[in-house]
């Protein structure tokens, strides 16, 4: 029973990463005329979303560290100030920010998809990480202060909002790839996408040897 609980927790934790990865990859593959469902597995989606999240937190850590180092008040505990500020704030005062964040994410995605394919839409489509940072800022207080009966709804819409940003990034990056003159338009840890002589695309997924799926297999075997 304990093994099953561990498996369920692992799968639950992986769901947001898989959703974000699916949002990005589905949009990317759709633009180049392919189906991601014929190419990727659940693990591919997890890794796709996870890498973007790692880059996201890496950028935040770098910017905050540089900002802190050159701050006049470097000795101050910034996190304590944030917590003190949140204590004085009511959930009703910040839920509006979260709703605004959701609206922004939808507008961002629709703009990237339906705006004419020019330099503006291409530049906007590559700003999925920046948009994700905006969403995190708008949702953070609401997720922290939300009462138990509201927390699930706030978290779900946060996940959806980040997914919309990632989907917009998939559209933008795919459109940029379409303009490449190379035969290979994408070759990373997940997939190799090549352009054929007739202008169509083919995708070959990479074999993933990750510790997490292997661990889950062992847990499943141990529970049987």
Task: Note the pLDDT of residue 223.
Answer: 44
What is the residue range of 70's domain? Answer: 2-223
Query: For all residues of the chain together, what is the average pLDDT?
Result: 84
The DSSP symbol for 188 reads: S
Task: Note the pLDDT of residue 166.
Answer: 95
Asked if pLDDT for residue 115 goes beyond 50, the answer is: yes
**How many domains in the chain?**
1
Q: Where does the pLDDT of residue 211 fall: very low under 50, low under 70, confident under 90, or very high at 90 and above?
A: low
Percent pLDDT > 90 in the chain is 39
| E strand spans, 112-200 | 184-187, 191-195
Number of neighbours of residue 218 by Cβ within 10 angstroms? 11
pTM score, whole prediction: 0.84
Asked if pLDDT for residue 76 goes beyond 50, the answer is: yes
Task: Note the pLDDT of residue 100.
Answer: 96
The pairing of strands 201-205 and 184-187 is: unpaired
Token pair, residue 88, equals: 């004085």
Report how far apart, in Å, the C-alpha atoms of 187 and of each of 45, 114, 202 are: 16, 27, 12
Least confident window among 65-69, 74-78, 98-102: 74-78
Task: Note the pLDDT of residue 177.
Answer: 84
Q: Where does the pLDDT of residue 209 fall: very low under 50, low under 70, confident under 90, or very high at 90 and above?
A: low
The residues that bridge with 202 in the sheet, in sequence order, are 194
Task: Note the pLDDT of residue 5.
Answer: 65
pLDDT tens, residue by residue, 152-187: 999 999 999 999 999 999 999 998 888 877 788 898
Percent pLDDT > 70 in the chain is 87
The separation between CA 214 and the C-alpha centre of its own chain, rounded to angstroms, equals: 24
Least confident window among 17-26, 28-37, 70-79, 96-105: 70-79
* Phi, then psi, of 66 in degrees rounded to 5: -65, -45
Q: Where does the pLDDT of residue 224 fall: very low under 50, low under 70, confident under 90, or very high at 90 and above?
A: very low
Helix axes of 128-145 and 148-178: crossing angle, nearest 10 degrees? 180
Task: Note the pLDDT of residue 220.
Answer: 46
The Cα 16–Cα 159 span in angstroms is: 6
């Amino acid at each position: 029973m304990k093994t099953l609980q561990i498996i369920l927790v692992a799968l639950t934790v992986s769901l947001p990463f898989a959703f974000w990865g699916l949002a990005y990859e589905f949009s990317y593959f759709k633009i180049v005329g392919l189906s991601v469902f014929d190419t990727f597995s659940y693990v591919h989606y997890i890794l796709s979303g996870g890498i973007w999240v790692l880059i996201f937190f890496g950028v935040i850590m770098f910017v905050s560290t540089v900002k802190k180092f050159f701050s006049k008040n470097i000795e101050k505990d910034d996190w304590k100030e944030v917590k003190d500020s949140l204590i004085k704030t009511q959930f009703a005062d910040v839920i509006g920010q979260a709703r605004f964040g959701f609206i922004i994410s939808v507008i961002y995605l629709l703009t990237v998809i339906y705006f004419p394919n020019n330099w503006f839409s291409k530049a906007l489509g590559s700003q999925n990480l920046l948009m994700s940072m905006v969403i995190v800022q708008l949702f953070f207080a609401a997720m922290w202060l939300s009462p138990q009966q509201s927390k699930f709804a706030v978290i779900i819409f946060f996940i959806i909002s980040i997914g919309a940003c990632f989907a917009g990034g998939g559209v933008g990056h795919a459109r940029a790839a379409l303009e490449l003159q190379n035969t290979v338009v994408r070759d990373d840890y997940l997939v190799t996408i090549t352009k054929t002589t007739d202008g169509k695309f083919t995708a070959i997924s990479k074999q993933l040897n990750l510790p997490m799926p292997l661990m889950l297999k062992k847990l499943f075997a141990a529970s049987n």
